[in-house]
């Protein structure tokens, strides 16, 4: 039996998603909890791996198990065993062709910036802090040059293992909500550090240090050295993947991803 699950986590206490030498990771904690519920080892596969300090509203995983439990029992049982920084939102039965990563046609991320001169306290570790005033409208205008299918080598980290730097961005919005500037981005897939590098390139535009045309010039250069710095991990959230062939998966249930106001 194959099951899919939606997972929410605060990444500030973890060394990223993937199981590794450093501990704890989200994957190892989740596998340990699910294994206790199943009374046997469980291995999970996710929609998109996240780095140290990166959060998730609805990471989706799948796993195979012969253990028979009600969906509610999987959720409650896992949450009883999980680290308090991780929560299982839902579990659904899926057919054996479903794969959390390969069945996803799009993925959404959000980058949050607290834009005020006073450092964060309540939101510490959950937002990037930018002291200088940012012009969100300029940032949004500049970001539109990145829409579509392109070679994103300029926004690709050196350690990226993807075979191709070509990706397609379907949506890239920058909005201000009070003291927050938010970057919402949706694409078919992402190269390593792509969202954080895009945010790091839009920030100088928002500060007025670079022209609105600059991100488009950076994209055309296909050279990571000409782009802005990688923005801090704590502002990044994996929002959710999209599965058009699996409408029963409630990936948007807990997520505020509203249309851009015009």
* Cα within 13 Å of Cα(190), Cβ side: 26
pTM for the full predicted model: 0.92
Q: Is the dihedral of CA 222, 163, 97, 77 positive or negative?
A: negative
**Nearest residue to 14 via CA among 159, 177, 125:** 125
pLDDT at 161: 75
pLDDT at 258: 45
Q: Say if domain 2-103 classifies as CATH 3.40.50.1370.
A: no
pLDDT at 170: 97
Q: How many CB atoms lie within 10 A of CB 49?
A: 16
d(CA 133, CA 112): 15
User: Class for domain 106-240, per CATH?
Assistant: alpha beta
Kindly report, residue by residue over 24-74, the tens digit of the pLDDT: 999 999 999 999 999 999 999 999 999 999 999 999 999 999 999 999 999
Residues classed as catalytic:
51
pLDDT at 246: 95
Q: Cite the residue boundaries of each domain of the chain with CATH code 3.30.70.660.
A: 106-240
**Nearest residue to 120 via CA among 131, 105, 133:** 131
Q: Cite the residue boundaries of each domain of the chain with CATH code 3.30.70.580.
A: 2-103
Query: Which pair of tokens denotes residue 239?
Result: 């929002």
pLDDT at 162: 81
pLDDT at 158: 82
Query: Which pair of tokens denotes residue 54?
Result: 């990166």
List, for the chain, all residue ranges whose pLDDT scores fall below the cut of 70: 253-262
Q: What share of the chain is helix, strand, coil (3-state, %, to 5)?
A: 25, 30, 45
* 207 preceded by a cis bond (ω within 30 of 0): no
**Nearest residue to 45 via CA among 55, 58, 33, 60:** 60
pLDDT at 260: 53
């Amino acid at each position: 039996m194959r099951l899919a699950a939606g997972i929410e986590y605060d990444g500030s206490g973890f060394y990223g998603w993937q199981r590794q030498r450093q501990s704890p990771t989200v994957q190892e904690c989740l596998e340990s909890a699910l294994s206790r519920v199943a009374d046997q080892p469980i291995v999970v596969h996710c929609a998109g791996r996240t780095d140290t300090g990166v959060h998730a509203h609805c990471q989706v995983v799948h796993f195979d198990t012969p253990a028979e439990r009600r969906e509610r029992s999987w959720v409650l049982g896992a949450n009883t065993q999980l680290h308090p920084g991780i929560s299982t939102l839902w579990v659904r039965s899926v057919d054996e062709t479903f794969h959390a990563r390969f069945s996803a046609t799009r993925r959404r991320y959000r980058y949050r910036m607290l834009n005020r001169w006073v450092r964060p306290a309540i939101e510490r570790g959950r937002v990037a802090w930018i002291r200088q005033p940012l012009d969100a409208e300029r940032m949004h205008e500049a970001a539109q040059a990145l829409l579509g299918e392109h070679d994103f080598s300029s926004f690709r980290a050196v350690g990226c293992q993807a075979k191709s730097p070509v990706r397609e961005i379907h949506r890239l919005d920058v909005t201000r909500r009070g003291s927050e500037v938010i970057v919402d981005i949706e694409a078919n897939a992402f190269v390593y550090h792509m969202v954080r590098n895009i945010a790091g390139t839009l920030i100088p535009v928002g500060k007025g240090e670079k022209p609105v045309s600059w991100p488009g010039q950076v994209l055309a250069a296909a050279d990571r050295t000409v782009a802005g710095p990688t923005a801090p991990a704590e502002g990044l959230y994996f929002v959710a993947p999209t599965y058009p062939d699996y409408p029963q998966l409630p990936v948007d249930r807990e997520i505020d991803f509203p249309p851009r106001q015009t």
